[in-house]
Chain A
Amino acid sequence: MIRERRPLLSRVADSVYWMARYIERAENVARFIGVNLHLQLDLPLAPAHQWQPLIDTAGDTEIFKERYGEASEENVIRFLAFDDENPNSIFSCLRYARENARSVRETISSEMWEQINSIYLQIQLQRASAQDDSLPEVLRSIRLSCHMFQGITEATMRHDEAWHFLRLGRMMERADKTSRILDVKYFILLPSPVNVGTPYDDLHWAAVLKSVSGFETYRKQRGRISPRQIVEFLVTDREFPRAIRHCVDMAGESLSVITGSAAHELKYPSERLMSVLRAELGEIQVETVVRSGLHEYLDGLQTKMNAIGDSLKQDFFALRHEERTVNRSSQSQWQKSESAPA
């Protein structure tokens, strides 16, 4: 356990955790859109066909349908990147990240705050002026700005309890996003056996890897494109920064530093759940998972990660007078919705 001169407020831990999740979420959405823009140039199918899965990946199928109806390139991008009524759009995520950062400015470093603030000012401008042909560049700069935030965090913030909550948030979000990308692509590809093994199928799988910045690493590690190999790589690799197992391991490590529990006596429900999940990921047989249904497996994984999230809330973030805060949630607590299951 870290002994702090100054204890960490529950509210501050909560905000730091969500700040990290929102930055990670924004970066992921920027990457999906960018990869898809690139991918569709190579595909003969009607473009709209390629855009609906992005909505499903983000877990916002319902709200999209309500607001836009049929998916097209234009409206999907608007919805995912700039729509302030979509709580998971890049713009909303960056706004929430900034609001959370603002409320903990005395906990994070000034450099971190200035970076989040500048990302937000940047997207505000881009939102007003973005043209279609500049979009890839806009998305790239958002991604880079988010990476820069991670770098600034590493370089300027003491690795104290708040930092561990930050990393916990980032890793939980990343694991969730990787599982969703995998889930949606797999779901879409399998029902059309016609294309399996064709160049289009390979292009799709390559796009999955690119969506998690994993294409080159996968090539070096595993060589040829093979769905089973890709699943194994993205779920079980211990060293790849966006593989689910790696993310859960990192999250677990931070959680143990926060709790200070010995391995044989875990004090908090959240760390017990985390420990079970880590063990499961260590023993997973990909052959079996693929045979018995990857979608069901990933669905189960997301449910477990959500349970850990709920448990973290109970263990560390909840305030005694939570009932008092309910009424003012709209005023001062940025709603921290988990993405709805896809």
Chain B
Amino acid sequence: MLFDSYQTQGFHDEMFDATGNPRPEARLLLETIQSLDEGQLLRSQRAAERLLLQMGITFNVYGDSAGTERIFPFDLIPRIVRADEWEWIDRGLKQRIHALNEFINDIYHGQKILKDKIIPEEIIRSATFYRPQCAGINPPLGVWCHITGTDLVRHGDGQIYVLEDNLRVPSGVSYVLENRDLMKRTFPSVFEGLRVRPVAEYPDKLLETLEAIAPAGCAGTPTVVLLTPGIYNSAYFEHSYLARQMGIQLVEGRDLTVEDKVVFMQTTRGLRRVDVIYRRIDDDFMDPEAFRADSLLGVPGLLEAYRAGNVALANAPGNGVADDKVVYAYVPEIIRYYLREDPILQNVPTFLCWKDTDRKHVLENLDKLVVKAANEAGGYGMLVGPHSTAQQREQFAQKIEANPRNYIAQPTLALSTVPTLIEDHMEGRHVDLRPYILYGKDIHVMAGGLTRVALRKGSLVVNSSQGGGSKDTWVLSPPREGVAS
């Protein structure tokens, strides 16, 4: 019934193989779904959507009329990841974050990698998120990227690639936790028999990471706060959610004040010192004295307090230099340079428009490639060649010619699909996967992540701002020793 007309349509499907047979890891889930009463799945789907609205699990849409909130659409059919594949992803992510952290630290200290001509110095100087103000800063434990949300995709060749690193202020982890919760509330029977690895320990691990980076002089349990731009930010739900889950104070810039390079929050009983700030505000808006002077969201003097070692910031300002999509193209080199290892996870082949040969190729193949601005996120500033009009391609050609440094291009990936409930039956929809990686005393990768799904038929853009939804991600446990799997 639900799956009667299901077609993988030549894409790599996460649940069915090319011949249309269920993959071994998906078999039990499929049997369970097929044993449900007619209509039960649909009812569960509706119940889940109602719950999301009631619980106020919404995001704000920019550019829409003020105060418009939407639920992030949720689809009940999970994405399943095999234990052995996850083990490989986990190792690959740890390697990548380790190397990227070394890279960022080098960029703000000796810049060995530039002197050794692995990356052209000009690329760094012109990176939008390179912050010369951060040169010479020594963050606690030498860690710059405490929380990362790496975007992974699977192409038609079955291979997993890293699409973006998202080192700055990655969001979405609250949906991972709420999705799992929702699945358990609306659809408990499906969990039976499948050994899905839990994700619930994430807030604990996050708090552990944040406490681990407290400034050296901090005695006792550090005071950790989460700094939000406020209730109109698109990710406000997440800020509030994580603060609640960790039991820490959610603060806005106006709650904080800096005196003698020490950060305080303003309480009904006067000022209280703050040791660690998990800031969910971009570098630019964090401190009007150090960065954008017109920012009203930030805390004047914050960077000075940080530089003086009186407060820790996660993520460290300046780490966005590695989010530049041109720098991304060099990550395999970065891994080899700092770790002397071959990369475990592959990059998507990337054409750099500032190179004359690459640019020529890109301009000649705009209808086949995906073009991205080097410093945009959220699916903005992007051209998906095969889905574009001649006029859009012309516009992008002009943009590329005018500012080649700011554009890269990649082959259009045939993102893998997962069955998704569309009206009353299943259709394949394209997905990506964003696991979350924490880096404090050591590196921890959450077992799972946010599976985003492009709900529009044929669409490859999974961003919530562009009609994307999400799914629960089930990473299976490795088979128990001595037990036949």
Contact = CB atoms under 8 A, between A and B. Distances in A.
Contact of B268 (A99, A316, A321): A316
Contacts of B255: 9-11, 319
B65 to A, nearest CB: 12
B268 A13 contact: yes
A264 interface: no
B249 A9 contact: yes
B254 A321 contact: yes
Nearest to A328: B296
A70 interface: no
A12 to B, nearest CB: 8
Contacts of A8: 267-269
B56 interface: yes
B231 A324 contact: no
A8 B243 CA distance: 14
Interface in B251-273: 251-252, 254-255, 257, 265-269, 272
Nearest to A13: B268
Contacts of B230: 103, 331-332
B54 A114 contact: yes
B231 A99 contact: yes
B240 A102 contact: yes
B266 A320 contact: yes
B268 A102 contact: no
B236 A102 contact: yes
A332 B232 contact: yes
User: In the complex, which range does the number of interface residues on chain A fall in?
Assistant: 20 to 34
Contacts of B55: 110, 114, 117
B268 A7 contact: yes
B14 to A, nearest CB: 33
A261 interface: no
B440 to A, nearest CB: 22
A9 B251 contact: yes
A106 interface: yes
Interface in A309-332: 316, 319-321, 324-325, 327-328, 331-332
A96 B219 CA distance: 40
A331 B56 CA distance: 20
A150 to B, nearest CB: 19
B250 interface: yes
Interface string B47-61: 000000111100000
A6 interface: yes
Nearest to A6: B249
A114 B57 CA distance: 10
B240 A325 contact: no
B266 A332 contact: no
A113 interface: yes
Contacts of B250: 106
Nearest to A326: B296
Nearest to B266: A10
Interface string A122-143: 0000000000000000000000
B252 A321 contact: no
A332 B296 CA distance: 11
A335 interface: no
A289 to B, nearest CB: 36
Contact of A105 (B244, B249, B272, B296): B244
Given A10-B268, A114-B56, A117-B54, A332 B252 contact: yes
B254 A11 contact: yes
A285 interface: no
Contacts of A105: 240-241, 244
B232 A331 contact: yes
Contacts of A117: 54-56
A327 B231 contact: no
A106 B240 contact: yes
A121 B55 CA distance: 11
Nearest to A117: B56
A258 interface: yes
Interface in A213-258: 258
B185 to A, nearest CB: 13
A43 B254 CA distance: 54
Contact of A332 (B53, B231, B251, B265): B231
Contacts of B56: 102, 113-114, 117
A183 to B, nearest CB: 32
A277 B197 CA distance: 61
B297 to A, nearest CB: 8
A4 to B, nearest CB: 9
A324 B253 CA distance: 10
Interface in B36-69: 53-56
A118 interface: yes
Contacts of A27: none
Interface in A1-41: 6-11, 13
Contacts of A324: 254, 296
A325 B268 contact: no
A178 to B, nearest CB: 28
A161 interface: yes
Residue picked from B243, B251, B267, most chain A C-beta under 10 Å = B267
Given A114-B55, A332-B231, A320 B257 contact: yes
14 contacts: A8-B269, A11-B252, A99-B231, A102-B56, A102-B231, A105-B244, A106-B243, A106-B249, A114-B55, A114-B56, A121-B53, A319-B254, A319-B266, A332-B231
Given A11-B266, A332-B232, 6 more contacts: A7-B267, A10-B255, A106-B240, A106-B249, A110-B244, A320-B257
5 closest A-B pairs by beta carbon, nearest first, are A7-B267, A332-B230, A106-B244, A105-B240, A117-B56
